[in-house]
DNA sequence: CCGGATCCAATCTGATACTG
DNA sequence: CAGTATCAGATTGGATCCGG
């Protein structure tokens, strides 16, 4: 599971330790289930550490490991590329779709 | 569809125009169907061009666009990161699994 | 507050067989 | 050579309910 949410978690946690609920609020559209699952996978791969504070109410913080911080940096370039070429790709898609679906007009 | 095969196609086509069958042979485990589908998506997004040569037998060449070549370069860094940290991740996984599944020994 | 468990729908993929 | 069509199976994701 490379996971469609992993990248966003890496970005959200890049600035330092962050709580479960903060992640949930910070990542648009993620469900609790997917947040938990993705965090577990990242933890399993040694990319995040999970720290449970025995307080009331409970408090769990996630923090990126050094390896994950490196990954975050290289991902940043990908994000930049995506941002720089968003319009180009959107236009390419529109053109392609216009040329390959005109049959629908026959109806 | 970011597509699990897209990256490998980008790598295989990075050196210049390449034919359908060459791609099929060069990418381990890909089916004809997935190769076709992934190429169509890349073409739709303006990342590859498709050139049909009207010869016998047919010859179709795929070539990366400039935008895709940029993408290939940034992906290269990701690949490097993955290679550098493969062992670290494998060990983290083994450790994690050992600590979270010992209940199975009760049987 | 944090997260596990279950159910269910959508999506993705491979195998196979058939064409210009 | 370079695809397309169809079908079945695996993955993935959201909704929901329950527990420490």
- Residue A38 included in any domain: yes
Contacts of A74 in chain B (CB under 8 A): 74, 77-78, 81
Question: What is the average pLDDT value for chain A, to the nearest integer?
Answer: 91
- Residue B107 included in any domain: no
Starting at the edge strand that comes first in sequence, how are the strands of the sheet with B18-19 ordered? B18-19, B59-64, B48-53
- Residue B105 included in any domain: no
Q: 20-59 in A: which are within 8 Å (CB) of B? A: 43-47
pLDDT given at position B54: 92
Per the structure, how many domains does chain A have?
Answer: 1
Cα–Cα–Cα angle for B45, B46, B48, rounded to 5 degrees: 110
The C1' atom of C10 and the CA atom of A34 lie apart, in whole Å, by: 16
- Residue A77 included in any domain: yes
pLDDT at A103 over 60: no
d(CA A44, CA A38): 10
Any idea which nucleotide's C1' is nearest the CA of A58?
A: C1
Contacts of B93 in chain A (CB under 8 A): 44-46
pLDDT given at position B99: 86
Q: Over pLDDT 70: what percentage of chain A?
A: 92
CATH of the domain at B65: 1.10.10.10
Strand A48-53, strand A59-64: pairing: antiparallel
Domain of A66 in residue numbering reads as 4-100
pLDDT at A68 over 60: yes
DSSP class of A57: S
- Residue A107 included in any domain: no
Distance to chain B for A25, nearest Cα, Å:
25
Name the band, by pLDDT with cuts 50, 70 and 90, for residue A48. Answer: very high
Distance to chain B for A107, nearest Cα, Å:
24
- Residue B106 included in any domain: no
Under 8 Å between Cβ of A14 and A71: no
pLDDT given at position A107: 41
Report pTM: 0.88
Residue-wise pLDDT tens digits, A7-19: 999 999 999 999 9
- Residue A106 included in any domain: no
Q: Does B74 touch chain A (CB under 8 A)?
A: yes
| Per-residue pLDDT in tens (0 to 9) along chain B, 107 residues | 568 899 999 999 999 999 999 999 999 999 999 999 999 999 999 999 999 999 989 999 999 999 999 999 999 999 999 999 999 999 999 999 998 865 554 44
Q: Over pLDDT 90: what percentage of chain A?
A: 84
Taking alpha carbons only, the member of B68, B102, B95 closest to residue A85 is B68
- Residue A105 included in any domain: no
Task: Tell me the β-bridge partners of B59.
Answer: B53
Chains A, B: CB contacts within 8 A come to 56
pLDDT at A52 over 80: yes
């Amino acid at each position: 599971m490379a996971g469609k949410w992993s990248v966003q978690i890496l970005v959200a946690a890049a600035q330092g330790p962050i709580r479960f609920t903060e992640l949930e609020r910070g990542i648009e559209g993620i469900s609790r289930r997917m947040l938990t699952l993705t965090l577990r996978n990242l933890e399993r791969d040694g990319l995040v550490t999970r720290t449970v504070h025995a307080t009331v109410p409970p408090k769990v913080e996630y923090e990126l490991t050094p390896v994950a911080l490196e990954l975050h940096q290289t991902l940043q370039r990908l994000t930049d590329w995506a941002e720089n070429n968003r319009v180009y790709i959107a236009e390419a898609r529109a053109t392609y779709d216009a040329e390959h679906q005109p049959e629908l007009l026959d109806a």
